[in-house]
Structure 1
Amino acid sequence: MRTGTTARSIAVTGAALLAITACGGSDDEGSTDAGADSGEKQVNVYGTDGNMGNALGEDFSEEGALAGMKGTTPLTDLSDDFKNRLLEIDPDLQDYNYAGETYDAVILTALAAQAAGSTEANVFKEYVNGLTFGGDTCTDFASCKEILDAGGNVDYDGASGPLSFADPGEPAEASFGLLQFGDDNTLDDELTSFVIAGDEDNAATDEGPAPAPAGATGDPLVIGTLLPLTGNLAFLGPPEVAGAALAVQDINAAGGVLGQPVQLIEGDSGDASTDTATQTVDRLLQSGVDAIVGAASSGVSLTVIDAITQAGVMQISPANTSDQFTTYNDNNLYFRTAPPDTLQARALADLIIEDGNNTVGILALNDPYGTGLAENTVQNLMDAGLSEDAIQSITYDPQAANFDSEVQEMVDFNPDAIVVIGFEESSRIIEGLNQNGIGPQR
């Protein structure tokens, strides 16, 4: 089994998931008594990975509009070296969300092909899960390849933290960042802390076939990307694109896969309201890709997963979190380095409880990501002791002209905390909450 995981973080489960230090507690500026001096109730506002980025703050000009807003996102404590190497790829990066997960998706794909001695996805898919647990720990392609060449068993600990894939091809445990906005409407890195959700004991037990003999050669591995260059998740595109490019650079610097340089073909996923992803997938399949990294949006992936996997191509997403993929009929060709929402919901619910909130309102966009994360969060809040009538969950149409009615429902409910699960439209919702005195604005 893996060694060194507990040296980085503490695996925790259930209602007592978090031991929060820098981000949380009842005495910081995001607490329920933050407005005690004025006699007004300060509502705590929380976000999730779809909106917890500096791109959200760019929509607000008034200082303090997001001050104290907290949230969760799949994120590990990325090393300065890794960040600096990403910045060499893209000097304009503002965030690193899902950069590690994208890097790991490419590395795992390459390791699976190397281990199988084949770039045929229906062959190397059998190796993916087993590369993430048991065996000898390695943290980069070059060292993992050395283990495979020696006939050993690889346990890849990636840039995104412990992976430990379960049978459905997704992390059994994952690192989450607990983030908080400062007065300048940007994330305050000094208040970021990290927790592990899930349990490595839930990883798969089948470590897969033995690796191919050292020196095996084959056709070049061709990887396509299906990442958001446009659309409502475009703010996630730059770190993901940089993560994929850096991974290919590292793989090829170590000799490539099966003696050949890995080829990368980039593509845009757009969002679920367009057919951009379908067009991109068609182009990538016609180009002969062996694997597609993406999409970021769960809703987008659900529109293309059948076309990809039925073509005998592997899909591995760095950011899909909907729990629908856990049981999806994908010919065992779909994987993800992002954790399912069942894990993020634990981290989010425990952050909310740790902050002392007794009533919680949830505003979630009506798509597989929003509804899935909302439902799992509600369940975890109830498991932590909140009653059903202490929680109000509302779904909204992200394409709506306005969100006045949903905001008014939150005003009427008057909760201690409001969770906004959404994408770029989140700024309009939060502005509405601020205008009604129940937003994060200080």
Structure 2
Amino acid sequence: MRTGILARNAAVAAAALLVLTACGGGGDDEGGGGGTEAGGGGGERQVNVYGTDGNMGNALANAFSDQPGALDGMKGTTPLTELSSDFTDRLDQIYPNLEDYNYAGETYDAIIITALAAQAAGTNDANVFKEYVNGMTFGGEKCTDFAGCLEIINNGGNVDFDGISGPLAFSDPGEPARASFGIMEFDDQGVLTPTSFVFAGDEENASSDEGPAYAPAGTTGEQLAIGTLLPLTGNLAFLGPPEVAGARLAVQDINAAGGVLGQDVRLAEGDSGDASTDTATQTVDRLLQEGVNAIIGAASSGVSLTVIDRITGAGVLQFSPANTSDQFTDYNDNGLYFRTAPPDTLQARALSDLIINDGNNTVGIMALNDPYGTGLMDNTRENLIAAGLAEDSIQTLTYDPQAANYDAEIQQMVDFNPDAIVVIGFEESARIIEGLNSQGVGPQR
């Protein structure tokens, strides 16, 4: 899953650092190998605890609202780039009382790119305009909004859209070749604050195929219909509001600029639920019956894997703002699957660099047993080994998010006694963190 989380209070506190998304993991104030004494004389070692984009944000902070310091020093990685106050203010107007802006930019960009590709192709047929998607993100004249990009198209130019979520620069599989990640940290009040930004990947790996020639300027045609498959319920429901806001704002901006193919874009919204339900399948079936040309979502990699064949097999484009599993890079999707979130091969590099730079020599990784969790775990392990850690200094385990408790997994970490513990998961991460804290190996000071 991936892509950027930002609590409102973190954004305010960090305005000078130009950050509007966040995620956490953990480490002591000196960032060194977990050697800090806990409790001022208790003799326990302070273990560095890290998280990723799936579990760090207001949902985790709210779970510990009555336990000050429970997340103190926890830090980690998330797909993150600067969001302007103008963008977040407009999101707030679209969807009042947002607590986070998680993946709002990525959702916005996915819809803008889809609309530009359809206009450039001169058709709402996804089997045709799919060939234009990658080329919207590199190689041409720079533009940063739909209106500006549409003007380039109408003037016979070639578009290079630099979106809210970054320069994009898609590679052949239809995903960012390079991405920005934020290093975020919880303070003793549970507030996320930014510490730095890092990049992973290389824009030189972007595709060299800019797609076919554009249709004549001003080409009109049948209405472009875009559906959403976003988490309104389930274990990623905290991602739903900002993603919905991003989708609505994108369609509003597109239609204000004249629409696509001479008509307003139609938006049909839907719930993805999570991988434990068939909500996504029901939503996809409804959206396909309504005749959508593209579906934005899902947020969860596991959910997308349950419906990708259904969507792309129907000749409809699927564009996820948050899928990060590396399974999608080589997936047989008929060229109809794209994502604005970077693959976990990139996040794993940023995460492993953070762990190594903090001086950790032994690392335990606890991962949700789904494509997102296992993929990020495996890639992080490979990067840690490539950075010089011995294989036997890294212990990995997966867990069932529906389990009654995680006592056995937590005990395994206690027995391993690592310098650092990485928790890769969703809302169930709160129970794991609580268990780690109770055993003296969590982030709590």
Q: TM-score under structure 1 normalisation?
A: 0.92
The aligned residue for residue 122 of structure 2 is 117
The aligned residue for residue 156 of structure 1 is 161
Asked if the contact 2:27/2:73 (under 8 Å) is kept, the reply is no
Asked if the contact 1:24/1:355 (under 8 Å) is kept, the reply is no
Following superposition of structure 1 onto structure 2, how do residues 278-357 of structure 1 map, counting pairs within 5 Å?
278-357=281-360
Counterpart selection for 2:261 from 254, 258, 263:
258
Q: Equivalent residue of 2:327, what SS?
A: helix
Counterpart selection for 1:42 from 46, 49, 53:
46
Counterpart selection for 1:70 from 60, 66, 75:
75
The aligned residue for residue 13 of structure 2 is none
Asked if the contact 1:230/1:268 (under 8 Å) is kept, the reply is yes
Q: Equivalent residue of 2:96, what SS?
A: coil
Cα distance in 2 for residues equivalent to 1:72 and 1:326: 21
Deviating beyond 6 angstroms after TM superposition, the runs of 4 or more aligned structure 1 residues are 23-27
Name the aligned partner's letter for residue 107 of structure 1: I
**Once the two structures are superposed, what CA deviation does each residue of 1:330-372 show, in whole Å capped at 9, x if it has no partner?**
0000000001000000010001111111110000011000000
Asked if the contact 2:258/2:264 (under 8 Å) is kept, the reply is yes
Q: Equivalent residue of 1:361, what SS?
A: strand
The aligned residue for residue 396 of structure 1 is 399
Following superposition of structure 1 onto structure 2, how do residues 23-172 of structure 1 map, counting pairs within 5 Å?
28=29, 31=32, 32-35=34-37, 38=41, 39-60=43-64, 61-172=66-177
Asked if the contact 2:362/2:419 (under 8 Å) is kept, the reply is yes
Name the aligned partner's letter for residue 434 of structure 1: N
Give the CA deviation at 1:153.
1.1
Q: Equivalent residue of 2:44, what SS?
A: coil
Query: Unaligned 5+ residue runs, structure 2?
Result: 1-23
Distance change >3 Å, CA 83–CA 193, structure 1 → 2:
farther
Q: Equivalent residue of 1:94, what SS?
A: coil
Cα distance in 2 for residues equivalent to 1:90 and 1:56: 22
Q: Which deviates further from its counterpart, 25-34 or 363-372?
A: 25-34
Asked if the contact 1:137/1:157 (under 8 Å) is kept, the reply is yes
Q: Equivalent residue of 2:63, what SS?
A: coil
Cα distance in 1 for residues equivalent to 2:77 and 2:342: 12
- Once the two structures are aligned, what percentage of the paired residues are identical? 77
**Once the two structures are superposed, what CA deviation does each residue of 1:200-250 show, in whole Å capped at 9, x if it has no partner?**
011110000111111100111100000000000001111111111111111
1:201 maps to 2:228: no
Asked if the contact 2:26/2:51 (under 8 Å) is kept, the reply is no
Give the CA deviation at 1:99.
0.7
RMSD: 1.5
Asked if the contact 1:59/1:427 (under 8 Å) is kept, the reply is yes
Counterpart selection for 2:190 from 185, 193, 210:
185
1:361 maps to 2:367: no
Asked if the contact 1:66/1:440 (under 8 Å) is kept, the reply is yes
Cα distance in 1 for residues equivalent to 2:179 and 2:116: 20
Cα distance in 2 for residues equivalent to 1:24 and 1:249: 36
The aligned residue for residue 12 of structure 2 is none
Give the CA deviation at 1:24.
10
Query: Unaligned 5+ residue runs, structure 1?
Result: 1-22
Q: TM-score under structure 2 normalisation?
A: 0.92
Q: Equivalent residue of 1:440, what SS?
A: coil
Following superposition of structure 1 onto structure 2, how do residues 233-272 of structure 1 map, counting pairs within 5 Å?
233-272=236-275
